[in-house]
A and B are shown apart, each in its own frame.
Chain A
Amino acid sequence: MQHGRCRAIFAQYQSDDWITSPWSLFETVNSLRQLCLKSNGPKPVVIEAIRRQLKHWHTRGVFQTEMPDLQEGVIECQQLSAACGTQLKMRSADVLHVALLEQLAPDLFLTRDKEQHALALNRAFPSRLIP
């Protein structure tokens, strides 16, 4: 919410379409909710307001949700695991993010996760790591 670097990146690409999927939306909102567990974290009502705002931004903002086939995504996960599972750190949720890129075909994948970034580059998806 206060992350200057994410805001800078967002402003840089504000004229582009930001593609989300049901999986990335779930992970985003779930992570926001988890912040409420921190002792000085945000209140649940604030997170709920942000969730609704994110939904609103899919109508008025730059976000648009695509609906990839999750079963196809899991098959891609298995292929990614077979190809890279002994060389890279690959948590299952991270692998699914990268696997869905095959269907979403974005011009650029933006992530703050080093493992997702490494895996995406390994599979030749254009990726940018937000520091």
Chain B
Amino acid sequence: MKTLTRRQLSREPGSLKNIKPGETVLVPDDDGGLIVTRRKKHRLSAEQMFGELDRLAPQCPPMDTRAFLGDDD
């Protein structure tokens, strides 16, 4: 478990905001401290995500996006 001092927290309050899903950070003090946990995400599989995308854009024709956006010059 990562530990963050109260001084670090007051100087960089964003460091608690940026903890990753499933990560826990302890901010110790005399009373035992504060434990902050970000819950783990339920992750969609690639197949589930492709399915969601296909439902959104079923009529989109295949296109050479790289050529159109000018990345091939």
* Interface residues of A, Cβ cutoff 8 Å to B: 1-3, 7, 10-11, 14, 17, 31, 34-35, 38, 40-42, 46, 49-50, 53, 57, 59-62, 64, 66-67, 112-113
Contact = CB atoms under 8 A, between A and B. Distances in A.
B65 to A, nearest CB: 6
Contact of A61 (B18, B44, B59, B69): B44
Contact of A112 (B14, B60, B66): B66
A34 B49 contact: no
B56 A14 contact: no
A67 B65 CA distance: 28
B46 A10 contact: yes
Given A57-B44, A61-B44, A64-B21, A50 B57 contact: yes
A34 B41 contact: no
B1 interface: no
Contacts of B68: 34-35, 38, 41
Contact of B69 (A7, A34, A42): A34
A46 B52 contact: no
Contacts of B65: 3, 31, 35
Interface string B10-26: 00001000101100000
* Size bracket of the B interface: 20 to 34
Contacts of A41: 63, 68
B32 interface: no
B60 A53 contact: no
Interface in B17-73: 18, 20-21, 41-47, 49-50, 52-53, 56-57, 59-63, 65-66, 68-69, 71
B46 A42 contact: no
